[in-house]
Amino acid sequence: MRICRYLVAALIACWALAGVQPAQAASALPAPVACPGCWHPALNTSWQWQLSSVPGEPFLDVTMYDIDGFNASAATVQRLHATRTGRKVVCYISAGSFEDWRPDAASFPASVLGKPLDGWAGERWLDIRQYGGTLGTIMRARMDMCRSKGFDAVEFDNVDGYANVSGFPLTAADQLAYNAWLANEAHTRGLSVGLKNDIEQIPALLPYFDWALNEQCWQYSECTTAQNGGYGYDQFVNAGKAVFTVEYTLSTSKFCAKSNAQNFNSLRKNLDLDAYRVACR
């Protein structure tokens, strides 16, 4: 649930500092792990995103619920499936930040803990470069939890640490490697996976992710390739992959028509991601 803003220049600068050209960064990634049995949402998919509380019955008549993976029980996931034919449930977990209230918080070594996330008490950025060690073990366990509870998909949050003041010299190439690894690990577990924010890296990461989720791209005029000059969520739609967007401060009259024209699934939500929801379609 991050509100991060980036510029193309920041991406280019990160690659330049690492001595990596964009094409080289993408070519250095492992091959995407195919998951033909994974859920691939239709371009027009109704949904609810509710993280600050576990949703209760009666549930909304929507195709997808995106809920907190730790707080939700297997029973809740089962009821969400049982009460609407074809409903899918997405497991929200943070893959880029440490959260001191989570039950696995003691598992994180001090070496992976970076600077606090501005405005989010109890959270610190992670050194994603260490996913080959204990950090990777923790994230695999989180994905196993999602699978064991019966979730259909996973939403990884804070997968844009390289574009923030993390406390580590993270590069765009580091982020690409980590995000591709996360997507591949999700697919090996039969979990559909969505790319959360990280807009500038859409061209390289599109083959790895089944759908996308963004916060406030209309407010910051960065939703489409035409706006950004090289990357945008229209690339997901053109690939037949669904896009889910949320605005927190714009009125629906300011973005719904534009979202519908792009075939995005857009909502107006409160910042704390409670049950409040106004859908554009």
For range 24-48, the mean pLDDT: 91
Going by pLDDT thresholds of 50, 70 and 90, the confidence category of residue 103 is very high
> Does the residue 111 lie in any domain?
yes
> What's the number of domains the chain is made of?
1
> Does the residue 151 lie in any domain?
yes
> Does the residue 100 lie in any domain?
yes
Can you tell me the distance from the alpha carbon of 44 to that of 29, in angstroms, rounded to the nearest whole number? 30
The pTM of this model reads: 0.92
CA separation (Å) from 149 to 20, 45, 77, 132?
A: 40, 23, 7, 25
> Does the residue 212 lie in any domain?
yes
Can you tell me the distance from the alpha carbon of 179 to that of 157, in angstroms, rounded to the nearest whole number? 11
> Does the residue 245 lie in any domain?
yes
Average pLDDT, the chain: 93
Summarize pLDDT for 37-47 with one digit per residue, the tens.
999 999 999 99
What is the CB-side half-sphere exposure of residue 201 using CA atoms within 13 A? Answer: 30
> Does the residue 183 lie in any domain?
yes
What range does the domain containing 89 cover? Answer: 8-279
> Does the residue 233 lie in any domain?
yes
> Does the residue 3 lie in any domain?
no
Q: Please name the amino acid found at residue 189.
A: R
Summarize pLDDT for 151-173 with one digit per residue, the tens.
999 999 999 999 999 999 999 99
Q: What is the CATH number of the domain that holds 126?
A: 3.20.20.70
